[in-house]
Structure 1
Amino acid sequence: MPFKILSLPARHPYMRKFNDGVNIEFVNPDTDLFSQQQYDPEVIQAKYPPESYNIVHIHFSFDVVPIDRFRNLLEYFRSVQKPIIWTTHSLECQRIKGYGNGEYQKLLFDYADKLISPTEGCKKYILEKYGKHKRDIDVIPLGFMISPGDVERIKKGISKDKNLFTILIADFRENREVIQSVINFLQCSTLNDCKLQLIYKPINPYKSSTNDLNEVMITFYELTQNPRIINVSLPFIPNELITEAFLKSHAIILPYKWGTHSGQIEQAKDCGCHVVVTDVGYYKEQWDKINTWSIADNKVEEFPTRYTNCLMEVYKKEPLKPAGYSRQEELQRIIQQHVVVYKNLISTHEQK
């Protein structure tokens, strides 16, 4: 019998691959209960009674829930004696000082019965910041984001374009410096023959709080009118569209000011893209082939030169090949690592 998991969220490509129905079965497939605002205990209890699942596995999106209501939800899971696992996808460590996500992470550290870290570096950080957890922290890699079967199917008829770089923005988040990254790309004369593809959700030219014009979004819009920019703007960005874009691209750019891990690193592996990213987080541990430029010393005046030098070095490189089915075996190992965690956690929980 597969382990029955309440996965928060469940529909993201990272989580969806675990729902194989043999080892693991999600009781809430194709949902993102946090983003769908279905996180109150009464709602969870009505839709997913405690007897319907073995474990609650929390990944991300929890910081869209008001902190008090998130605490109430964790208390509910504890009251119905459901073990909680937290996979530490993103952390306070690389974020802007005082960013509120740290409150949520401390709650999860305290309430979770088990922690999983995608990298050794992240595990080390958790131990240094929060101390020893009630159980050992397991390190389990993220694995592929795009099904190898989908990669093999979609790549037919698609050729790499040496002159195509891509930034997958989706939502405009605080941790991304997109505008300067676009400006510096366009100003780099070595890349004059290159195009930059931007994939994002429709922008709002007004500030949501005051209804005044949002100068940042106006600037972004003006940049997107450059003939070297390819705009892909949709309210919902299909996974297949992202896969096609990555399969065509020579490289992807991750303009992160801070970070921990990135699913886009895994997508780049899946689709054979070079990666240009800042030296924050644990991206190098995810994939040693990434290309980094330094922001750690905060010498802002040197950032444009470092960034464009990295772009030019990547441009010289030969295209990479999509991984495709070569990542399938890796997934089976990762699933079995999760199965061991679930089995041990349920066993010790039942002995209480």
Structure 2
Amino acid sequence: MLRVASVPASHVYVRHLSDPRGRDGVSRLPDPAPADGRTVPGGWWPPMMLEPGWVSDNHALFDVFHVHFGFDAIDADVLTAVMQELKSQHKPLVYTVHDLRNPHHRDPEAHILQQDVLIAAADTLITLTPGAAQEIRRRWDKDATVLPHPHVLGRQHIEARRPPTDRFVVGVHVKSLRANMDPVPVLESLTEITAKLPGAELSIDIHDEVFSPDSHWFSPKIGDTVRDFARHDHVRVTEHPYFSDDELWDYLSSLSASVLPYRFGTHSGWLEACYDLGTAVIAPTCGFYNQQRPCHQFTFTEHEFDETSLRVAVESLHAEWLSGVDPPRSTWHQRRTERQMLAAAHRHIYERVSA
């Protein structure tokens, strides 16, 4: 049995890298619980495995160290110390490059420094799309194995019938207005676009913590701007706490199309969930979303927004909706087969770096 210290282990991406039949011969250590109880849903924040000393104290428990997420707030010099511990204990490092640009950081510099450390130390790199692999090659002169994102939802939701509707619902969830989001110009355009389409409505969701002065995400000016879109008869604005998983799946299933208002980014678990549920996605041209799963695109980057491309994407999906054409959707057979492939591929990588 190959023992892997994954950072983190409880994230859905990592959990779905294992063989669904348990035949991959890989055991992943559970996430160590923080002593002061600081966690997020899933229980993996902050990642104790990336604290100096953890590797030295626990090196006998694992064969391979695999980093995915969770190093956002860790200084590059601290990461360097952890990498040195791995080297001194002769433990190989695998790093999956999910984000070439951290969606939570307006300034990319910290993430660049963190990745400089991780990529230099890694025995093997993995990423999700050919475009990301090409960018890794260009920036760091290292190759990355391309492996797709596993399913996000379980079989029950993937095989469930979508709820019937007579409305073409375009959804934008602005969440808590994280750094890579710029929803207002997108919402202004979508309000105009959907007003002209028969049976169309615009659904806007926002986390209520945006309006709480005690919240880190307090942003009343933009929040009030989002609220104001409700003055249009065909626009619905909903404020609510974070969805539970089931609430999120119900929300995504209620949409005909989900528009991602990201100025920068790389890959998306949200896109994967929509693919599992049969909800169309209109993704920005930043990042490599269109290489990840089938989706429509509109031109949206830190420096450019082309409203015409957004209009074309929405009108195209609306025409398909009127014609009864369903968006691409995963099947459980496809996802299960893909997951078996991912488990075998990761097992092979772990064996190779451990040799």
- TM (normalized to structure 2)? 0.81
- CA distance 1:86–1:36, change in 2 (3 Å): closer
Give yes or no for contact 1:34–1:64 (8 Å, CA) kept in 2.
no
> How far off is 1:96 after superposition?
6.6
Q: Which amino acid is 1:146 matched to?
A: L
Structure 1 residues 79-88 or 211-220, which shifts more?
A: 211-220
Unaligned stretches of 5+ residues in structure 1: 348-352
Give yes or no for contact 1:10–1:16 (8 Å, CA) kept in 2.
yes
The root-mean-square deviation of aligned C-alpha atoms, in Å, is: 3.2
Give yes or no for contact 2:171–2:204 (8 Å, CA) kept in 1.
yes
Alignment length, in residue pairs? 335
Per-residue Cα deviation, 1:52-97 (whole angstroms, up to 9, x for no partner) = 2221211123112233333333333333322111111110499977
Does residue 310 of structure 1 match 2:320? no
SS in 2 for 1:123: helix
> How far off is 1:198 after superposition?
3.9
SS in 2 for 1:68: helix
Aligned partner of 1:350 in structure 2 is none
Determine the C-alpha separation between the residues in 2 that align with 1:43 and 1:204.
36
Among residues 268, 285, 301, which one is paired with 1:262 in the alignment? 268
Q: Which amino acid is 1:187 matched to?
A: E
Aligned partner of 2:131 in structure 1 is 121
Among residues 84, 88, 94, which one is paired with 1:79 in the alignment? 88
Determine the C-alpha separation between the residues in 2 that align with 1:260 and 1:297.
13
Give yes or no for contact 2:17–2:150 (8 Å, CA) kept in 1.
no
- CA distance 1:182–1:51, change in 2 (3 Å): same
Aligned partner of 1:279 in structure 2 is 285
Determine the C-alpha separation between the residues in 2 that align with 1:215 and 1:232.
15
Superposition pairs of residues 99-114 of structure 1, within 5 angstroms: 99-114=109-124
Does residue 174 of structure 1 match 2:176? no
- CA distance 1:291–1:157, change in 2 (3 Å): closer
Among residues 301, 307, 332, which one is paired with 2:340 in the alignment? 332
Determine the C-alpha separation between the residues in 2 that align with 1:105 and 1:86.
10
Moved over 6 A (4+): 93-97, 206-213
> How far off is 1:253 after superposition?
0.8
Determine the C-alpha separation between the residues in 1 that align with 2:264 and 2:101.
9
Give yes or no for contact 2:55–2:85 (8 Å, CA) kept in 1.
no
Unaligned stretches of 5+ residues in structure 2: 32-40
Aligned partner of 1:139 in structure 2 is 146
Does residue 40 of structure 1 match 2:45? no
Aligned partner of 2:155 in structure 1 is 148
SS in 2 for 1:341: helix
Superposition pairs of residues 1-352 of structure 1, within 5 angstroms: 1=1, 3-20=2-19, 21-23=22-24, 24-28=26-30, 33-35=44-46, 39-42=50-53, 49-92=58-101, 98-131=108-141, 133=142, 136-152=143-159, 155-156=160-161, 158-159=163-164, 162-188=167-193, 189-191=195-197, 193-205=199-211, 214-223=220-229, 228-231=235-238, 233-235=240-242, 237-287=243-293, 289-295=294-300, 298-300=303-305, 303-317=306-320, 318-320=325-327, 322-326=329-333, 327-347=335-355
- CA distance 1:291–1:257, change in 2 (3 Å): same
- CA distance 1:223–1:13, change in 2 (3 Å): farther
Percent identity at matched positions? 19
> How far off is 1:196 after superposition?
3.3
Determine the C-alpha separation between the residues in 2 that align with 1:250 and 1:22.
38
- CA distance 1:62–1:266, change in 2 (3 Å): same
- CA distance 1:62–1:213, change in 2 (3 Å): closer
- TM (normalized to structure 1)? 0.82
- CA distance 1:261–1:297, change in 2 (3 Å): closer
Determine the C-alpha separation between the residues in 2 that align with 1:278 and 1:285.
12
- CA distance 1:56–1:212, change in 2 (3 Å): closer
